[in-house]
Amino acid sequence: MSNMQFNIIHPLYDAPEEKRTGDNLGLMNLSWKQKLIMKVLLSHVFIMSGLVAYHVYTLSIHH
């Protein structure tokens, strides 16, 4: 065991390894619950961004 040698190669200089890129896959199958969550969060982003814009606008008036 004491003679075991470890070769350490920097990842940038090592041979490339096969990754799970998903290139052979299509779109993910989302359940209706997952789709609903995504749509709710999307609406949330739009509504909240509008509110923040309004808030910043009111702040700018006070400035």
Q: Which residues bind another protein (CB under 8 A)?
A: 2-14, 16-17, 19-23, 25, 27-28, 30, 34, 37-38, 41-42, 44-45, 47-49, 51-56, 59-60, 63
Least separation in angstroms between CB 41 and another protein: 4
Least separation in angstroms between CB 32 and another protein: 14
C-alpha dist (Å) from residue 8 to 1, 5, 12, 27: 17, 10, 12, 38
Instruction: Please provide the distance, in angstroms rounded to a whole number, between the alpha carbons at the two ends of the chain.
Output: 73
Least separation in angstroms between CB 50 and another protein: 9
